[in-house]
Amino acid sequence: MQAVSALLLLLPAAFAAQAPQFEPPSAGPLVPSSNYVGSSNSTLNKTTVVAGKQFDRIVQIWLENTDFESANSTATFTNLAKQGVLLDQYYALTHPSEPNYVAVVGGDFWGMADDQFYNIPANISTVVDLLEAKNVSWASYQENLPTDGFSGFNFTSENYLNGSAPPYTYYVRKHNPTIIYDSVASVPSRAALHRNFNDFAADVNASALPQWLFVTPNLVNDAHDTTIDFAGQWVDYFLTPLLSDTRFNDNKTLIVLTFDETETYTVNNRILTLLLGGAVPENLRGTVDHTYYTHYSALSTVEANWGLGSLGRGDTNKTLSNVFSFVADATGYKNLNISGAAIPLTNATGTIPGPLNANFYVPFTAPNVSATGAGGGPVFIAQGLNVNLTAATAPAPVNLTAANETVPALGPIGGTSAAPSPSGSGKPSGAVESVVAGKAAGAALLGALLGSAALFL
């Protein structure tokens, strides 16, 4: 274990020495590529568009680990800001990555303070339940996901930035928010909506994009393993051409380009967010909106737009869930005016009790079933939910770590491997074998997690 830690510490230095340069993974965002791993087998079925009050489609694109000032001094973002609205008081919710991702779809980060393999139990609902209740279509596009519905911890494939380097881990589960929830992952038709960028290309080409999309670039393109300049080049490559393609962006499309969290933990968690797309009113393009928002605003905005129910979690906490202002205006939602010292500090990590915090463990509790969210609909009650187990009736936090225990939702990390260890052969044939081996290992892990009946590859 110590040897592994020492090796991990050396990695950034080795990586910096190589200073990877951006390379387009394909000839264009709508051109298939083996760099995205599995080729597309089908497009999504076209569905009836459910009209929203301000937009009919929302595309959330998440980049990684960048302070506001850093993104705001990068040309890609300052140029794009001229076409949309810059949100300069938008905050992530905690550190590190994974809790922010689970929060933007589930309305809570459950006390999580790490990036481990979790399976959030099936009685915990997400935005997927709210969307499906109104027949609003959705999908999660993950750049290097090997196969549709893959639920493994990560995936390693041929290094397309450096053909003589070993295969590279481009895909990680911790950036694929909905797959972490069993209410999504254990339903095969839902699991299948986790698709890679070959599927994305096929879906756009077929004019079959859904109405709610989450888009995660791979670990180099999202700045996680690289720099904001590298990610900016990816945005120029991927997003900029799509902005003028009406199969992606029409006058009822809202695009939210944001970051999971700041790089610096010792400042509050302000990140740069751009609202782009044809649904942004023309008179607001090139403006700055100083309203206080958090990742929960992405939930409340969707709820307001389609008149959805709510999760009764952070999405209904009025302080943390202001609706993007032009959507609030269109739907009659009243935002709170929160500024200066009233802005909560959301840069803490590890100190918030929850069912995914082993040092301050409390069980999963029911949402506030009497909450009213921005959509006005009822709080979604998942199957198997004990509505009587509430925050008020839950036991006090306990320290499982001190008892040499882990939280029940922690997956078998360090057990079955989701990915092959890099072969180091560097030969293209070795890389291909690595991809194949990874699929087999991924299938084994998925089978172990979900049972063979739910095996979906």
Ligand X SMILES: *[C@@H]1O[C@H](CO)[C@@H](O)[C@H](O)[C@H]1NC(C)=O
Nearest distance from C-beta of residue 349 to ligand X, angstroms: 7
Which residue in 225, 229, 289, 315 is the catalytic one?
225
Count other C-beta atoms under 10 Å from residue 384's C-beta: 10
Q: How far is the CB of 95 from ligand X (least distance, A)?
A: 9
Helical H segments across 97-215, by residue range? 97-106, 127-133, 182-185, 188-191, 197-205
Say how many Å lie between the first and final Cα of the chain, rounded.
32
Whether 225 is catalytic is yes
> Shortest gap between Cβ of 416 and ligand X (angstroms)?
7
Q: Between 296-306 and 97-106, two packed helices, what is the crossing angle to 10 degrees?
A: 20
CB 335 within 8 Å of CB 324: no
In the block, tokens 């290094």 appear at 159
- In 3-state terms the chain splits into helix, strand, coil percentages (rounded to 5) of 30, 15, 55
Q: SS3 for 272?
A: strand
Closest CB 268 distance from ligand X, rounded Å: 5
Going by the DSSP 8-state scheme, the letter that residue 27 receives in this structure is S
Count CB atoms within 10 A of the CB of residue 425.
13
Contact of 391 with 365, CB cutoff 8 Å: yes
Of all residues in this chain, which one has the CB nearest to ligand X in the complex?
38
Name the residue nearer to ligand X (CB basis): 190 or 238. Answer: 190
Q: In the complex, what is the shortest distance from the CB of residue 158 to ligand X, in angstroms, rounded to a whole number?
A: 14
CA dist 343 to 111, 295, 307, 320, Å?
Answer: 20, 14, 27, 9
Our CB check for ligand X shows the closer of 32 and 256 to be 32
Find the farthest-apart pair of alpha carbons in the chain and give their distance in angstroms, rounded.
60
Backbone torsions φ then ψ of 57, nearest 5 degrees: -145, 140
Residue 372, beta-bridge partner list: none
Select 94 or 331, whichever has its Cβ closest to ligand X: 94
Per CB under 6 A, residues contacting ligand X are: 38-42, 44-45, 72, 78, 88, 121, 123, 134-135, 146-148, 153-154, 169, 172, 196, 198-199, 250-251, 265-268, 317, 319-320, 344-345, 347-348, 359-360, 363-366, 384-386, 388-389, 399, 401-402, 404, 417-419
Rounded least distance, CB 17 to ligand X, Å:
19
User: How far apart are alpha carbons 315 and 294 in whole angstroms?
Assistant: 10
Q: Which two tokens stand for residue 298?
A: 């992405």
DSSP strand E in 79-217: where?
85-91, 138-142, 154-157, 168-172, 194-195, 212-216
CA distance 118 to 413: 9
- For residue 172, the minimal CB distance to ligand X (Å) is 5
Q: How far is the CB of 396 from ligand X (least distance, A)?
A: 12
Pairing of strands 293-294, 85-91: parallel
CB-nearer residue toward ligand X: 23 or 88: 88
Residues annotated as catalytic are 225
